[in-house]
Structure 1
Amino acid sequence: MSDEQKSKDRSVLYVSAGIALVFVAFSIILPSQMAKAANGVLAFLTTNFGWLYLMSVFIFTVVIFIIALSRFGNIKLGADDEKPEFTTFQWFTMLFGGGMGIGMVFWAIAEPMTHYMSPPVGQPGTPQAMHDAMRIVFNDFGFHVWIIYAVCGLALAYFQYRKGLPCLISSAFYPILGDRIYGPIGKTIDIIAVFATIFGVATSLGLGAAQIATGIQYIWGITATPGMTAVIIAIMTAIFTLATVSGLHKAMQAVADVKVWLSIGFMVFIFLFGGMVFILNTFTHTFGDYIQNFMGQSLWMGNIEWTKAWPIFYRAWYIAWAAFVGQFIARVSRGRTIREFILASVFLPAGFCLIWIAIYGGAAFNLDALSHGAIQAAVKTDISTALFATLQHLPLYVITAPLAIVLIIASFAGAANSATYVLSMFTSGGDQNPSKKLCGFWGIAQGAITIMLVLVGGTAAIKTLQTASIAAAFPFMLIMLVMCYSIYKALREEKV
């Protein structure tokens, strides 16, 4: 198939858009039935295949580090004589930036406090429950996340920059399918990747908007209605869509800079005033426990219902994000060796995430004890207020609370901009410069899906989005397992 034919082929776009449209239509016309069906799918997948989500990520872990430490680690992601496009410092900065997502802002306090109050095993409210809660969150936001992204990123970078294939997920299967990647099988793979990305991003958009709405209510007393949440989603959608369509690289760099500096500023501020010694003690103990129990907790299913609600959901959510985050880390890593790519893209962002959680979670536990359970009470009332309840017990709340809302918006805008670009690329035959119309379509589509569901079903509709992301991640997880074999098969043919 010629390049011109590929560029004119819009089947992935039409089918992907059609699936999204059908999902939204049914959610609007039959909201309760759709929610019931979504919950049925969730129950079926997590009950019967929950083990496979955990086992798959374990397999990704083994495969990715075997490749990194083998002779294949010396292979360039590009031509043999190609130099990295970015300096080491720039590369590290972008990888660090990739670790700062909206999920980190939302859950860094809310999740450890939740597990502290309702642990999967043991008694709640004890020092042991606190350390277990922090270890659990390390497990959910630590190395596993970036191992998932590294698998997809390695496939995209290798076949895109080393083999000159289109910037599509299906390209990773060329060693198995050959030119059939341009046919129905390859297009099905790309459609699944697009579908998973749409609902993975929509879930984060819904969570972020809900956190902003409840934050506004918490700070200024303005009721957080579904209508307000929809308006916030519309504003966030307009920001990242206009940035993507207009190609305002300087503007997007400004957003990224705001996110980075605000994130660092909040970390330093919370560390200094949230109890430095307590945070350092908690981090030291928890990190050691996390490393010591890494293998066991990766596959732990001692409490099935709890495992389905937390580790399995997180694995599915990250798999849903793998296509576009993988493309991001692939793009900034061109010219690096496979070993450099894997070790840096796993350990640098994961390390940043662990420090973030240690500071936010540790400070929350310290301030909760000093305030006699005030943060626990806030989380019980509304989990979205966890960050604001913590900031309220620190100095300069009148300044930090509004800045927290800015941080949430900036954190999502950067990720959504990348997702919109990658969706446009995946639905235009792998074109690295997709049209502005296509970028605009996917930007608006992501926001519209979330707004319509929230208006019809309220904030409870976000649960439907979460369920959809898990459902979409299941077939993509199977694709990623086959992808591991395809990568290995291609690497064996390299002369190293």
Structure 2
Amino acid sequence: MANAQGSQDRSVLYVSATISLAFVAFSMLLPAQMGLAAKSVLGFLTSNFGWMYLLSVFIFTVTVYSIAFSRYGKIKLGKDDEKPEFTDFQWFSMLFGGGMGVGMVFWSVAEPMMHYMSPPVGQGGTVEAMFLAMRIAFNDFGIHVWVIYVICGLALGYFQYRKGLPCMISSAFYPLLGDRIYGPIGKAIDILAVFATIFGVATSLGLGASQIAAGLQYIWGIQSSPGVIAVIIAIMTAIFTFATVSGLHKAMQAVADVKVWLSIAFMVFIFLFGGTVFIMNIFTHALGDYLQNFIGQSLWMGNSSWVEAWPVFYRAWYIAWAAFVGQFIARVSRGRTIREFVLAVTLLPAGFCCVWLAIYGGAAFNLDVMSNGAIQAAVKADYTTSLFVTLKHLPFYVITAPLSIILIVASFVGAANSATYVLSMLTSGGDMEPGKKLRTFWGIAQGAVTIMLILVGGTAALKTLQTASIAAAFPFMIVMVIMCYSIYKALSEENV
């Protein structure tokens, strides 16, 4: 099955770079028109096919767990005698670092509080609304996220490391397309994956930089502006580009370790000083609620406008990230069994995210009561400052405030590392060790795109980019559903 010509093919690089540059150019020249067009397309997709996003992710969930607990679960992502490349802790830290970026920090306080104030059902500001808000947050950042990533990661890891195919998204369709994966159909799949990845990372870079700028203004009074945000983006770009060029075993691993240990330190601190008993009570209740209502909440369409704005939006956003996160987790999981891969990747990071949200959200609820609604007021005024307002109501703010900025940077850099590495793989014909020049190009390109859009159109331009990326997730969602069948077809031919 292996194709030696894959590493020589640069067509995906040239076509995807051209399309991306054209989109950026139009967004800069015609920002209002591009914003309106992107919003219209996304509105059409979410209002008419919101059910499909929810149903597809549910299909992914059934698929990955049925495979994991079947006889195919003992098959390795690699040859039968292959050993894992990374230790368990290194593996976990890179799984979490690659899959969860700045969004976890950005929304850890803001989202639970927003659902608490305006729940999809019932009255806001009540105890019931608080528990419902935490359950919704668990649903948005829990198992569903990682199931989406696992579908891509499982397909890519299996076909690349066990069947010897190139490290390309199109390789997952070999059972259906055969050698046509090297032709126009396969190239179209890979280009779609690259497009979604570029703009998904660019918008996350912009959101992360915006939160850092808001933090600098809130903590030290440094006025936030497009110029300040651009400087922050340039600094973060330099950091993650350097880390990516250094490779998986050097700076990328160091960034992942810093992110995990700093995340744990913040969780312990907030847990101890933010109301330990209150946090444990809300975590216990929300976890039980989440597990009990898992299937019903996975497919709930009771408030269509709210569902489109939150669960559907999140599913689409994660699908837009699925190509690069799936490729990255496959890359660091070589030598693991399918059962080990599925259970570890879906349960460990999801569990970490739920604990994280319970601690941050629980502390925010507790401190909001103690401060007569200060956290709610901050979220209403500017939700990008909600984390800093929460920390201000805790001890040692002079220390935790600057550390929170470092955490935001590390959270984004961890995801950007993996995205840049995978972009280099996808645009070098599947080279597992892409050249440093190509890694440098993609790192600088992502930062440059974001800076240009910020300087020309401000945060509104980033919104257009984000909307376009999520809209691009719709065809990729269909690709992933077909991918499920392709995995089953290939596994059925295994002699186990």
> In which range does the TM-score fall when normalised by the shorter chain?
over 0.9
Residues of 1 paired with 2:402 and 2:148: CA distance?
A: 33
Match of 2:140 in 1: 140
Q: Percent identity?
A: 79
User: Which residue identity does 1:111 align to in structure 2?
Assistant: E
- Residue 51 of structure 1 and its aligned partner are, at CA, apart by 1.1
Q: Tell me if structure 2 keeps the 8 A contact 1:98–1:349.
A: no
Structure 2: runs of 5 or more not aligned: none
- Residue 89 of structure 1 and its aligned partner are, at CA, apart by 4.4
User: Which residue identity does 1:251 align to in structure 2?
Assistant: A
- Residue 159 of structure 1 and its aligned partner are, at CA, apart by 0.3
Distance change (3 Å), C-alpha of 1:71 and 1:4: closer
Match of 2:95 in 1: 95
Residues of 2 paired with 1:175 and 1:44: CA distance?
A: 33
User: Which residue identity does 2:323 align to in structure 1?
Assistant: A
Residues of 2 paired with 1:248 and 1:6: CA distance?
A: 22
- Residue 495 of structure 1 and its aligned partner are, at CA, apart by 0.5
Within 5 Å, give how 1:12-411 maps onto structure 2.
Answer: 12-98=12-98, 100-247=100-247, 249-411=249-411
Residues of 2 paired with 1:279 and 1:247: CA distance?
A: 39
Deviations 1:217-265 (A, max 9, x none): 1111122112211111111111111222344853333322321221111
Distance change (3 Å), C-alpha of 1:131 and 1:352: same
Match of 1:478 in 2: 478
Residues of 2 paired with 1:315 and 1:247: CA distance?
A: 30
User: Which residue identity does 2:105 align to in structure 1?
Assistant: V
User: Which residue identity does 2:217 align to in structure 1?
Assistant: Q
**Which stretch of structure 1 is more off in the superposition, 25-34 or 256-265?**
256-265
* SS of alignment partner, residue 250 of structure 2: helix
* SS of alignment partner, residue 62 of structure 1: helix
- Residue 429 of structure 1 and its aligned partner are, at CA, apart by 0.5
Distance change (3 Å), C-alpha of 1:335 and 1:437: same
Residues of 2 paired with 1:347 and 1:311: CA distance?
A: 19
User: Which residue identity does 2:21 align to in structure 1?
Assistant: L
- Residue 4 of structure 1 and its aligned partner are, at CA, apart by 5.6
User: Which residue identity does 2:133 align to in structure 1?
Assistant: A
Match of 2:447 in 1: 447
Residues of 1 paired with 2:217 and 2:86: CA distance?
A: 43
Residues of 1 paired with 2:261 and 2:346: CA distance?
A: 22
Distance change (3 Å), C-alpha of 1:281 and 1:482: same
RMSD of Structure 2 on Structure 1 (CA): 1.5
Residues of 2 paired with 1:88 and 1:124: CA distance?
A: 42
User: Which residue identity does 2:445 align to in structure 1?
Assistant: A
Residues of 1 paired with 2:394 and 2:488: CA distance?
A: 51
- Residue 342 of structure 1 and its aligned partner are, at CA, apart by 0.6
- Residue 173 of structure 1 and its aligned partner are, at CA, apart by 0.3
Q: Tell me if structure 1 keeps the 8 A contact 2:169–2:189.
A: yes
* SS of alignment partner, residue 85 of structure 2: coil
- Residue 118 of structure 1 and its aligned partner are, at CA, apart by 1.3
- Residue 348 of structure 1 and its aligned partner are, at CA, apart by 0.7
Distance change (3 Å), C-alpha of 1:251 and 1:360: same
- Residue 418 of structure 1 and its aligned partner are, at CA, apart by 1.0
Residues of 1 paired with 2:253 and 2:340: CA distance?
A: 25
Q: Tell me if structure 2 keeps the 8 A contact 1:218–1:385.
A: yes
* SS of alignment partner, residue 109 of structure 2: helix
Residues of 2 paired with 1:89 and 1:104: CA distance?
A: 20
**Which stretch of structure 1 is more off in the superposition, 255-264 or 45-54?**
255-264
Q: Tell me if structure 1 keeps the 8 A contact 2:100–2:415.
A: no
Distance change (3 Å), C-alpha of 1:429 and 1:53: same
Distance change (3 Å), C-alpha of 1:91 and 1:253: closer
- Residue 10 of structure 1 and its aligned partner are, at CA, apart by 1.3
Q: Tell me if structure 2 keeps the 8 A contact 1:78–1:158.
A: yes
Residues of 1 paired with 2:174 and 2:380: CA distance?
A: 50
Q: Tell me if structure 2 keeps the 8 A contact 1:95–1:348.
A: no
How many aligned residue pairs are there?
Answer: 496
Residues of 2 paired with 1:256 and 1:434: CA distance?
A: 20
Q: Tell me if structure 1 keeps the 8 A contact 2:94–2:256.
A: no
* SS of alignment partner, residue 133 of structure 1: helix
Distance change (3 Å), C-alpha of 1:372 and 1:272: same
Residues of 2 paired with 1:408 and 1:169: CA distance?
A: 30
Residues of 2 paired with 1:248 and 1:150: CA distance?
A: 20
Deviations 1:13-72 (A, max 9, x none): 111001110111001100111111111111111111111111110110111111111111
Residues of 1 paired with 2:396 and 2:110: CA distance?
A: 21
Residues of 2 paired with 1:363 and 1:288: CA distance?
A: 19
Q: Tell me if structure 1 keeps the 8 A contact 2:98–2:418.
A: no
TM-score by length of 2: 0.97
Deviations 1:335-361 (A, max 9, x none): 221111111111011011100001000
User: Which residue identity does 1:55 align to in structure 2?
Assistant: L
Q: Tell me if structure 1 keeps the 8 A contact 2:108–2:361.
A: yes
Residues of 2 paired with 1:480 and 1:248: CA distance?
A: 27
- Residue 98 of structure 1 and its aligned partner are, at CA, apart by 4.4
Structure 1: runs of 5 or more not aligned: none
Residues of 1 paired with 2:120 and 2:191: CA distance?
A: 37
Distance change (3 Å), C-alpha of 1:29 and 1:90: closer
User: Which residue identity does 1:195 align to in structure 2?
Assistant: F
Q: Tell me if structure 1 keeps the 8 A contact 2:93–2:260.
A: no
TM-score by length of 1: 0.97
Residues of 1 paired with 2:77 and 2:257: CA distance?
A: 28
**Which stretch of structure 1 is more off in the superposition, 372-381 or 236-245?**
236-245
Residues of 2 paired with 1:11 and 1:140: CA distance?
A: 36
User: Which residue identity does 1:115 align to in structure 2?
Assistant: H
Residues of 1 paired with 2:275 and 2:199: CA distance?
A: 38
- Residue 2 of structure 1 and its aligned partner are, at CA, apart by 8.9
- Residue 299 of structure 1 and its aligned partner are, at CA, apart by 1.0
Residues of 2 paired with 1:88 and 1:252: CA distance?
A: 16
**Which stretch of structure 1 is more off in the superposition, 446-455 or 482-491?**
446-455
User: Which residue identity does 2:315 align to in structure 1?
Assistant: R
